[in-house]
Structure 1
Amino acid sequence: MAQLLLVEDDAQVRSALTRALTERGHAVTSACAGMPGLTRALEDRPDLVVLDLGLPDLDGCEVLRMLRAVSAVPVIVATARDDEPEIVRALDAGADDYVVKPFSAAHLDARIRAVLRRGR
């Protein structure tokens, strides 16, 4: 279906989401931190980025701002941060959608499809 980039520092979450989204027909590449994620986004040109906020090298909103400066690729923030100021901050930084962990792979896949539909 879509070429996705998953930027997630937790290896177990990254592996589980990669497997689940691949099983749903997506091609998934991943990065474990913000700077490698930015590099992959620019090199691979994915259809959509799934971005965690709690990254080891950069705050996810900073990664999002840097990505927005050079790309219009759709971004879904997928994070455990569920407080309203964080959600507003991510959306203001350029996120196209925001999902709070834990979520099912089916839920994330539905959000991915919805964001990609809006971009057509």
Structure 2
Amino acid sequence: MGENLISGDGWAVATVDDLGDGPGFRKVRRALGVTEFGVNAIVLPEGYQTGRHFHDRQQELYFVHRGEIEFAFGDGTTHRLPAGGFARVDAATVRSLRNVGEGEAIYVCVGGQGGYVERDGHTADG
């Protein structure tokens, strides 16, 4: 792992580059010890298209970190999202992604099941 992957008591930090090289999956969950939801960063080479897929249970949230990615959904619609774009996709919805920009694109995908945890934050200083 990269030199900036650091962890302490109850926390871990890293950059995308710390989690691997080249195209493909960067296993964020494993590297940072995430246990409550799935999360990966994926590097797509220029022009690359993922396979069509869906899930049994987990809803996914995609965040385009770098580049421009076209999302194609099972209903035949497509949507291009630039860096900073989000897409929510329900488990059973068929989807594929394609890097339509110049150079590598990077997206982060968070998946989970079971519902939202209501606000449970507290200030640490009283």
Output the TM-score relative to the length of structure 1. Answer: 0.29
User: 1 or 2, which has the higher helix percentage?
Assistant: 1
> Higher relative contact order at CA 8 Å, sep ≥6: structure 1 or structure 2?
2
User: 1 or 2, which has the higher strand percentage?
Assistant: 2
